[in-house]
Amino acid sequence: MAQREPGFETLAVHAGSPPDPTTGARQTPIYQTTSFVFDDTEHAASLFNLQVPGFIYSRLTNPTVAALEERCAALENGVGATATASGHAAQILALFPLMSPGDNIIAANKLYGGSINQMGHSYKKFGWGATFVDPDDPDNFKAEITDRTKAIFIESLANPGGVVTDLEAIAKVAHDAGIVLIVDNTMATPYLCRPFEYGADIIVHSTTKFLSGNGSSVGGVVIDSGTYDWFQNDKYPSLTSPAPEYHGLTFAESFGNLSYTLYGHAVGLRDLGASQSPMNAYLTLLGIETLPLRMERHCANAQVVAEYLKGHDAVSWVSYAGLKEDKYHDLAARYIPKGAGAVFTFGLKGGFDTGIAFVEALELFSHLANIGDSRSLVIHPASTTHRQLTEEQLIAAGAGPEVVRLSIGIESIDDILADLAQAFDRCATASSG
């Protein structure tokens, strides 16, 4: 009899965390230790030579963090993962095996503002370039590919405006050019969308957001599909050429479909040091256990809020793919049929000043720079998360002066709507007075 594949909800609870073999503890222990004792000198040498798996030092590997990595890989149907200190660290680590000075990526211009800033400015310090294009037309990526292009970077469901990206079409552009497609799946989570099923090669998450779900733990993760053929061209010598620090070992030859993940640990975490702490990994594991339940409520509440805002006199527009008239509704039905997510934007008729006043008038909503919490959150991107961008970049990213971003939580929908209503009333009273 064929072995049954576990369902998503089962993986969210069990993947990566069997009972502890030493103590029988059912919950994954927090291995709050810097390092691990070797059996003998031969064992130590084998670990450092990457000849056997095991734990050396918590910057490289840690049992609690490894449980999180295994769970994230299982949820995305990948072969391996590397957990990092933050979502931004995950983006750097994802590119580290692929890039050399003078190389470039092509990124969607509809991204989290911090990502645009990181790619447009900080990447230059590595000698990396980034070109931004409108992801609504996949041919925009094709037009910018050069011999030094090593990856395309997109968000499956883009922050802040809830833009749905045509994953399959962009994957085809990447693969026709023999380059990697990296998808940030933070906003959708693997519960709503699994980008590997549509041609993505690498997935990154800010685990800080929905995977953790409780606003307590900063982290990131890089997940490998294990399907990209690194030897199909000479674009990725870090994986296909001998590594001098490992006595000429070639990662893609020695480790096959785990080569990218092994490189992420053995070189990426070793040299960049952006490892996730065991405590944050533990808290994120706890959060993932309820991910399916939370995402159902997040999406159901967000749909109701979007409908409410669409009909409000003070609102000029709502960008939510769950609305039938939204330009991304058809793509949402294709890629995220279980719900259009919890994060979206809307425009206030009063512009910048009204946006700030509205945010300050809310009471249940927390005004802070995060998404994916169980609590409802609000921010005015143009004055906060996206304030480093130019006016042109703000508009392209869907973060203009009138824009308010909501991250809808799992509270009672009646309480969420009541808070929005009183904030509108207070703004109307202030403007009329």
Query: What CATH number has the domain bearing residue 355?
Result: 3.90.1150.10
Task: Answer yes or no: do 303 and 193 share one domain.
Answer: no
Task: Answer yes or no: do 258 and 317 share one domain.
Answer: no
204 within a domain of the structure (yes/no): yes
Structural domain span for residue 343: 292-432
pLDDT tens readout for residues 120-156: 999 999 999 999 999 999 999 999 999 999 999 999 9
Task: Answer yes or no: do 199 and 315 share one domain.
Answer: no
SS3 category, 230: helix
Q: Judge whether 225 and 202 are in contact, CB under 8 Å.
A: yes
According to DSSP, the β-strands at 180-184 and 202-206 are parallel
Task: Answer yes or no: do 377 and 269 share one domain.
Answer: no
Task: Answer yes or no: do 105 and 189 share one domain.
Answer: yes
Task: Answer yes or no: do 260 and 300 share one domain.
Answer: no
Q: Which residue among 287, 318, 336 closes a domain? A: 287
pLDDT value of residue 15: 95
What is the Cα–Cα distance from 395 to 392, expressed in whole angstroms?
Answer: 5
Q: What is the largest CA-CA distance in the chain?
A: 79
414 within a domain of the structure (yes/no): yes
Task: Answer yes or no: do 19 and 53 share one domain.
Answer: yes
Task: Answer yes or no: do 173 and 191 share one domain.
Answer: yes
The Cβ-side half-sphere exposure at 169, using a 13 Å CA radius, reads 15
Let me know how long the chain is.
433
172 within a domain of the structure (yes/no): yes
Task: Answer yes or no: do 68 and 134 share one domain.
Answer: yes
What is the Cα–Cα distance from 86 to 62, expressed in whole angstroms?
Answer: 16
Q: What is the CATH number of the domain that holds 195?
A: 3.40.640.10
Task: Answer yes or no: do 273 and 236 share one domain.
Answer: yes
How many domains does one find in the chain? 2
pLDDT in tens, the chain (433 residues): 467 889 999 999 999 999 988 899 999 999 999 999 999 999 999 999 898 999 999 999 999 999 999 999 999 999 999 999 999 999 999 999 999 999 999 999 998 888 998 999 999 999 999 999 999 999 999 999 999 999 999 999 998 788 999 999 999 999 999 999 999 999 999 999 999 999 999 999 999 999 999 999 999 999 999 999 999 999 999 999 999 989 999 999 999 999 999 999 999 999 999 999 999 999 999 999 999 999 999 999 999 999 999 999 999 999 999 999 999 999 999 999 999 999 999 999 987 788 888 999 999 999 998 999 999 999 988 777 667 777 777 776 677 788 999 999 999 999 999 999 999 999 887 666 5
183 within a domain of the structure (yes/no): yes
8 within a domain of the structure (yes/no): no
How many whole angstroms from its chain centre is CA 369?
A: 15
Terminus-to-terminus CA distance in the chain, angstroms? 74
Task: Answer yes or no: do 321 and 242 share one domain.
Answer: no
419 within a domain of the structure (yes/no): yes
Q: Which residue among 263, 287, 311 closes a domain? A: 287
Q: Which residue among 287, 322, 339 closes a domain? A: 287
257 within a domain of the structure (yes/no): yes
Q: Judge whether 84 and 261 are in contact, CB under 8 Å.
A: no
Task: Answer yes or no: do 246 and 345 share one domain.
Answer: no
pLDDT tens readout for residues 59-82: 999 999 999 999 999 999 999 999
| DSSP conformation class of 214 | S
266 within a domain of the structure (yes/no): yes
